[in-house]
Amino acid sequence: MADSTADPWDLLVAPWHLDEHIPDFPVPAAATVVARPALPDGPVPARMSVLHRAATDAVARKTRPLVLSGDCSTARAVLAAQQQHHPDLAVLWFDAHGDFNTPAISTSGYLAGMALATLTGRTPDLFDDTLGLRPVPDTSIVLADARDLDPAEHDALTTSEVHRIPAEPAAVTSALERLGPVPVYLHLDIDVIDGAQVPGARFPAGPGPSLAQIEECLAAARATARLAAACLACAWLPEHAADATSRQAITRLTAALGASLTWP
């Protein structure tokens, strides 16, 4: 079922990167900000799990959530909440990176670089299991772009059954039609966009699809799939998160998904 008949988006904001609060994270008018709980002392994954629990609870109260977050790891929370309503949820993931590292193969240990692998169940000991997240089968995942991969991450994706495509509208349409009439969680990291068009990104990946091309990909997804939930990882450095160019990119990307943002 195409997205044009779906419910309106419920806008939420999760203003953190890993376990760090982003004070100047842009908050559109009418958005619900996920209340930040008190975090325990201890390892970062344990602190992130507390944040993810709060995000899961907030997302679960929304009919059709569109989440703005400071990292990709928050996808874990969004997906866990949505699986309560859509056990067959598929994933369409736009990212310049694969996010398919695990603690065993990561060269940096960067936790958000494991976000997609976590959704597939490849990082079972990284976080606690309080969210009730069920692994998504590789065959239900479409990864768009992923032009910047670590060598071991490349090998892991090659031996997986994750369906990789270029970030092109026709490829998005074809991949979603291949998945069939299942609800889809759409995830987009802003670094999938050509680095020259997203100044201040935490992990710029150089030349890539233009912002206009990614808008076309999102429009194709909206026209083809039943988008049950979405997350836009606004992975700018904290001092750039609320720049005019950053807000403009967020506004354009969410508009391509059918959401109309205004800013206070």
DSSP 189: E
Residue 235 CA to residue 225 CA, distance in Å, equals: 25
What percent of the chain has a predicted confidence (pLDDT) above 90? 97
The yes-or-no verdict on residue 1 having pLDDT over 70 is no
Q: In the structure encoding, which two tokens stand for residue 132, read together?
A: 């009730």
β-pairing, 90-97 with 65-69?
Answer: unpaired
Q: What is the pLDDT of residues 175-191, one digit of tens each?
A: 999 999 999 999 999 99
Q: What is the pLDDT of residue 173?
A: 98
Residue 185 CA to residue 192 CA, distance in Å, equals: 17
Terminal-residue alpha carbon distance, the chain? 34
The yes-or-no verdict on residue 2 having pLDDT over 90 is no
Average pLDDT rounded to a whole number, residues 236-248: 95
pTM: 0.97
Q: What is the pLDDT of residues 195-238, one digit of tens each?
A: 999 999 999 999 999 999 999 999 999 999 999 999 999 999 99
Q: Is 45 helix (H, G, I), strand (E, B) or coil?
A: helix
Identify the burial level of 113 via C-beta atoms within 10 angstroms of its C-beta, where 0-12 means exposed, 13-18 middle and 19 or more buried: buried
205 Cα distance to chain centroid:
17
Q: Which CATH architecture has domain 3-256?
A: 3-Layer(aba) Sandwich (3.40)
| Residue ranges per structural domain of the chain | 3-256
Q: Write phi, then psi, for 37 (nearest 5 degrees).
A: -75, 165
Q: Are 205 and 251 in contact (CB under 8 A)?
A: no
The yes-or-no verdict on residue 4 having pLDDT over 50 is no
Average pLDDT rounded to a whole number, residues 125-151: 96
- The letter for the amino acid at 29 is A
Q: What is the pLDDT of residue 14?
A: 98
Q: Are 198 and 228 in contact (CB under 8 A)?
A: no
